[in-house]
Amino acid sequence: MTEHVDGNALAGPLSDLFTFDPTTASARCAGCGDVSVLARAMVYGEPDTFVVRCAHCDDVLMTIVQTRDRFCIELRGMTWLKIPR
Amino acid sequence: MTGTSEAGDGRIGNWKVGVVTSIRRESASGRSITIDVPRWGGNIAGQHTDVRLTAANGYTAVRSYSVASAGAGDRIELAVDRLPTGEVSPYLVDTLREGDELELRGPLGGWFVWTPQQTESVQLIGGGSGIVPLMAMIRSHEASGSTAPFRLLYSVRTPLDAFFRAELESPSANLEVTWIFTRGAPSGWSRPAGRITAADLEAHGFPAALSPTVFVCGPTGFVETVASALVALGHEPNRVKTERFGGA
Ligand SMILES: Cc1cc2nc3c(=O)[nH]c(=O)nc-3n(C[C@H](O)[C@H](O)[C@H](O)COP(=O)(O)OP(=O)(O)OC[C@H]3O[C@@H](n4cnc5c(N)ncnc54)[C@H](O)[C@@H]3O)c2cc1C
Ligand SMILES: [Zn+2]
C-alpha cells in the first residue's frame, strides 16, 4: 500500500483487539478538535504498521504496530474515543 | 452493525477457512470468486473481508476485499482486479481454483454500508473494482424490494473492463446506471472517453439539493477527485461516504 485508504480498513486489524466495531467509534482530534468516526480517518499503512491521521488537519490520531507477539497502540493524538453500544 | 462479536470462537477477528465454490471471469484482469465461509453469518451491503495468504515459510500477506453479495448465509462473493506487480491479487485472479481453501475474517466495517431501512435517494459512484461494495448495495436494494431511488455512475477504462456487466446492463426499475469510459467508449457513444469530471456528476448524479447519501469507491485518486467535486457541487461532506482501495 503506497497510497492511503480510509479508516474503514482498520476494521480487520483492530478486530483482533476489540469486540466493538472501531470504525463507527468517533474520535476527537487532539490537534484541531474535529470529531469524526474513525472510518473517516486516513490510514497510511505498511503491512504491520498503520498510521491513522485526522482527515481534517492531518495530525496523527493513532499509530498501530503489530509484531509477532504484541500489538502496540499509540493514542496520543486523540482526546477521546466514543464507542456506540 | 457488524453482527455479534462475542469472545472466543465467534469473534469477528478470528480467521475462518472458506472453500472456493465457483469462479467467474468478469473482465480481462478480474474475476469474481464465490466462497463458502463457515460461521460467516451473513453481511450488510458494503462490508468487507480481510483475506490472508500464508507462504510455505510462514510469511503472511493480508489484504481487504469488499463483499459483492449481501444478506444472510455463509456464501459470499468477492471480485478482484489483478495488479500485475501485486503480492495478493495475481494469486486470487490467476492461481486460486475451485475447491481451494482461503483464510478470511469478517464481515468487517459498519460504516460504508447501506441497509434496506434507508429510504433516501442514494448515489453510487464507482471506479474500476470500486464497484464491488456498490454491487452489494444494488443487490440488497433489489432483493429487499426497496423503492429508494438509486443511481450508479460507473467509471471503467473500456466496456470490457467492467465487472458485473450483464447485471448492470439490465438494472431494476429503481436504479439508473450511467457508464463513464475513460480509455475507450463504444462507437457511437456520445461522451468522449475520459476521466470522470464534475460535469458528469452534475449531469447524471442526484443534485445536492435532494440530499442524497453518496457512496464513492475505487482507487484512492479516483475517490479523492470525486469527493472534492461533490463537495464543490454543494453536497454536504457528511453525506458523502468514501472507501479508498489504495493505489494511485
Ligand atoms: C476496504 C478495502 C476494500 C477493498 N476491496 C477490493 C475489492 O473488492 N476488489 C479489489 O480488487 N481490490 C480491493 N481492495 C484493494 C486490495 O485490498 C488490494 O490493495 C489490491 O488487491 C492490491 O493488492 P496486491 O497485494 O495485489 O498489491 P500490492 O502488493 O499491495 O501492491 C502492488 C502495487 O500496486 C499498487 N496498488 C495497490 N493498491 C492499488 C489499487 N487499488 N489500485 C492501483 N494500484 C494499487 C501499489 O502501490 C503497489 O505499487 C480493497 C481495499 C480496501 C482498503
Ligand atoms: Zn485534526
Mark whether B128 and B103 lie in a shared domain. no
Do the Cβ atoms of A3 and B220 come within 8 Å? yes
How far apart (Å, rounded) are the C-alpha atoms in residues B207 and A65? 42
B30-44 pLDDT, tens digit each: 999 999 999 999 999
- End of a domain among B108, B143, B164? B108
Mark whether B137 and B67 lie in a shared domain. no
A52 touches chain B (CB under 8 A): no
Per the structure, the count of domains in chain A is 1
- End of a domain among B57, B80, B108? B108
CATH assignment of the domain containing B204: 3.40.50.80
Q: Which ligand is nearest to the CA of A52?
A: 2
Interface test with B, best of A14, A21, A46 (most B CBs within 10 A): A21
B26 within a domain of the structure (yes/no): yes
Other Cβ atoms closer than 10 A to B196: 20
Q: Above 90 in pLDDT, residue A1?
A: no
B184-240 pLDDT, tens digit each: 999 889 999 999 999 999 999 999 999 999 999 999 999 999 999 999 999 999 999
Q: Which residue in B13, B50, B220 is closest to A5 by CB distance?
A: B220
Mark whether B78 and B136 lie in a shared domain. no
B51-100 pLDDT, tens digit each: 999 999 999 999 999 999 999 999 999 999 999 999 999 999 999 999 99
Q: Above 50 in pLDDT, residue B2?
A: no
Tell which residue, A34, A75, A55, has the closest CA to residue B241: A55
B115 within a domain of the structure (yes/no): no
High-pLDDT (> 90) share of chain B, %:
91
Contacts of A19 in chain B (CB under 8 A): 5-7, 11
B117 within a domain of the structure (yes/no): no
**Is residue A45 within 8 Å of residue A51, measured between CB atoms?**
yes
- Whether the predicted interface score ipTM is above 0.90: yes
Q: Provide the domain limits for residue B50.
A: 2-108
- DSSP assignment of B118-162 equals --S-EEEEEEGGGHHHHHHHHHHHHHTT--S-EEEEEEESSGGG-
Is residue B144 in contact with ligand 1, taking CB distance under 6 Å?
A: no
Residue of A nearest to B14 (CA): A16
B214 within a domain of the structure (yes/no): yes
Closest approach of chain A CAs to the CA of B63, in angstroms?
A: 9
Mark whether B172 and B222 lie in a shared domain. yes
Distances (CA, A) of B175 to B24, B105, B120: 24, 31, 13
Mark whether B94 and B134 lie in a shared domain. no
Mark whether B135 and B211 lie in a shared domain. yes
- End of a domain among B85, B108, B131? B108
Residue B240, exposed/middle/buried by CB under 10 A (0-12, 13-18, 19+)?
buried
Tell which residue, A58, A31, A42, has the closest CA to residue A6: A42
Query: What pLDDT shows up at residue B247?
Result: 87
Average pLDDT, chain B: 94
Mark whether B237 and B127 lie in a shared domain. yes
Q: State how far Cα B92 lies from the chain centre.
A: 16
Mark whether B35 and B101 lie in a shared domain. yes
Mark whether B144 and B98 lie in a shared domain. no
B114 within a domain of the structure (yes/no): no
The C-alpha cell at B247 is 493505489
Distance B245 CA to ligand 1 centre (A): 6
B38 within a domain of the structure (yes/no): yes
B113 within a domain of the structure (yes/no): no
Mark whether B239 and B126 lie in a shared domain. yes
Tell which residue, B207, B190, B247, B191, has the closest CA to residue B224: B247
B8 within a domain of the structure (yes/no): yes
End-to-end CA distance of chain A: 32
Q: Provide the domain limits for residue A62.
A: 5-82
CATH assignment of the domain containing B75: 2.40.30.10
